[in-house]
Amino acid sequence: MLLAKTHQHQSKLATYCRTGNSVTIEGAVQKNLTHYRRLVFNNVLDSLETAYPLTQKLLDPKDWELLVHRFFSYYNIQSPQIWMMPEEFKNYILETELILTKQYPFLENLLTFEWLEVEVFMMPDIPHHKAPPETYVLNPEMDMMMVNYPVHLKNANTITKDDKGTYFICMHRDPDTGNVQFTNLSIPFVDVIECLSKKPLTDIQIKEILKKYAQDEIIETAFLDFINKATSTKLIFTS
């Protein structure tokens, strides 16, 4: 059984790595312990900067580093996979950093948008089904989210309360390049995507869905715009 004093020595080192607060550990070479703090913290910082480049850019560099420092100091990271750690960072901010989320009302949307990109990039492969003749099928490697601020359309620094509304984002993974692309969707096309996620649809069936929202002359143009963009980005496929 591990003795309490051995556990305590390990805890001291781990806590020092997390907080950077100086510590005295029996038998340790004090000046070399600083390298552990540097290596450990930079590893976490790099991973978060890779996952959240827009959030990092939004904040003053010192505030960003202090935010990461608080997260790493006070939050117990649960995932053994470092690429999943940024999701815990997002949840930590939303649950704990109330001053920050009040200062930036769109921060929840921004963090969720950035994390969704990571998730779609990393998601396990899903088999793609070939479209039956004269139909469209949805790329199964996708996800959708609703946001209240246009974090996908505007530089975060320029978003104001006036931008508040309802926005829909569809994020999908290009099956050939693996790149993640997002599409800003209006409500009628959210409906189309949701229907496509259940089964392949023909031109006529898609236009029938759109008829619930607009007049015929608008539908034709909107339909063509959507189909052209969605097929070129490989959000949907046709036979």
Partner 1 sequence: MVGIGYRKDFAEDFASNNVLTPSFIEVAPENWMNVGGYYKKLLDKALEKHPLFAHGLSLSVGSPEGIDVDFVKQIKKFLDDTNTVEYSEHLSFSKCDNAHLFDLLPIPFTADAVKHVAKNIALAQDILERKIAIEIVSYYSPIAAEMTELEFINNVIKEADCNLLLDVNNIYVNSFNHQYNAKEFLANLDLERVKYIHMAGHTQVSEDLIIDTHGENIIDPVYDLFGFAMQQLDRDVPVLLERDFNIPELEILQQEMSQLQNIKTNSLKHTAHVTS
Q: Which residues sit at the interface with partner 1, rule CB under 8 A?
A: 1-3, 5-7, 9-11, 13-15, 17-18, 25-30, 32-33, 35-36, 39-40, 43-44, 47, 75-83, 85, 121-126, 141, 173, 177-179
Residue 44 or 230 having the CB closest to partner 1: 44
Q: Following DSSP, what letter does each residue of 130-198 receive, concatenated? A: PPPTT-EEE-SSEEEEEESS-TTTS-GGG--GGG-S-EEEEEEE-TTT--EEEEEE-HHHHHHHHHHTT
Q: Would you mind telling me the total number of residues written for the chain in this entry?
A: 239
CB 47, min distance to partner 1, A: 8
Residue 15 or 103 having the CB closest to partner 1: 15
| Closest residue by Cα to residue 15 from 46, 45, 36, 42 | 36
CB 78, min distance to partner 1, A: 7
Residue 36 or 168 having the CB closest to partner 1: 36
Cα distances (Å, whole numbers) of residue 236 to 170, 223, 225, 226, 239: 12, 13, 13, 10, 10
CB 175, min distance to partner 1, A: 9
CB 44, min distance to partner 1, A: 7
Q: Which residues contact 146 (CB under 8 A, 6 or more apart)?
A: 166, 167, 168, 169
CB 168, min distance to partner 1, A: 24
Residue 31 or 102 having the CB closest to partner 1: 31
Residue 33 or 169 having the CB closest to partner 1: 33
Q: Work out the end-to-end distance of the chain between its first and last CA atoms, rounded to an integer number of angstroms.
A: 64
Distance (Å, whole) CA 189 – CA 41: 43
